[in-house]
């Protein structure tokens, strides 16, 4: 039962983290910066 709770908690953390990351990326591109759509993904991967 404890493993199930931990798995659910980990899933929620990953889902929330992914949502926040995607929201920040989309918000950054929506600010009107003249950059290609893949630039933020490239910059994120290059860090």
pTM over 0.85: no
Structure confidence at residue 26 (pLDDT): 73
pLDDT digits (tens, 9 = 90+) for 1-46: 999 999 999 999 999 988 888 887 776 665 555 555 555 555 555 5
CB 31 within 8 Å of CB 39: no
Q: Which of 4, 46, 40, 8 is nearest to 22 (CA)?
A: 40
What count of Cα atoms within 13 Å lies in the side-chain half-sphere of residue 29?
13
CA distance 43 to 46: 5
């Amino acid at each position: 039962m404890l493993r199930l709770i931990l798995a659910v908690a980990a899933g929620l953390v990953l889902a929330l983290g992914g949502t926040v990351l995607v929201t920040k990326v989309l918000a950054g591109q929506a600010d009107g910066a003249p950059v290609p759509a893949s630039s933020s993904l490239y910059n994120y991967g290059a860090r």
